Amino acid sequence: MKIIIEECKPGEEDQIIIRCKELDGHILKVISELKMGQKKLTGIKDGVITMVDPANVFYFEGVDNKVFLYCKQNVYETKLKLYEIEEEYSNTNFFRASKSVILNVTKIKSVSPAYNGRFEALLFNGEKVVISRQYVPELKKKLGL
């Protein structure tokens, strides 16, 4: 793979051009990460709206028709639905871990088998998240296993 970087002339907009034989998973992931770097999530806590970088999110969880995003120390409510988050962050480090959880694989410290084919992920913030058995193959794919 060849990478060429050129400086823009004053007043020109930054642009990225990708030339490839085929649009494979690796290139889609790079594109998603570039797009994700520009996007911020809106989180609400105690009536205060905060802009949250998706890279700081450990996981999203749906509880009682509300969706929360969990960061290292804070929990925010978001107005997005889980299916919208799943679509928006497909081909990134996020994946569906259960019906109610979307997990960021970069925040996983360790994974261990649990009961009935499920896995349990220990996150860097000390929390444990159960990965349903139907989503274990996706986890293995994301982890390169």
Ordered structural domains, the chain, with CATH: 25-143 (2.40.50.1020)
Distances (CA, A) of 118 to 12, 62, 110, 112: 51, 19, 14, 9
Rounded percentage of the chain residues whose pLDDT exceeds 70: 95
Residues 63-73 pLDDT 10s? 999 999 999 99
What confidence category does residue 97 fall into, taking pLDDT thresholds of 50, 70 and 90? very high
Report if pTM > 0.85.
no
The pLDDT score that the predictor gives to residue 27 is: 77
- Residues 5-21 have a mean pLDDT of 83
Distances (CA, A) of 79 to 39, 41, 45, 56, 107: 15, 10, 12, 18, 23
The pLDDT score that the predictor gives to residue 100 is: 95
Amino acid at 86: E
The pLDDT score that the predictor gives to residue 35 is: 65
For the chain, the average pLDDT equals: 87
The number of beta carbons lying within 10 Å of the beta carbon of residue 126 is 8
DSSP letter at 99 equals T
Distances (CA, A) of 108 to 22, 39, 44, 61, 117: 31, 22, 24, 16, 19
What confidence category does residue 36 fall into, taking pLDDT thresholds of 50, 70 and 90? low
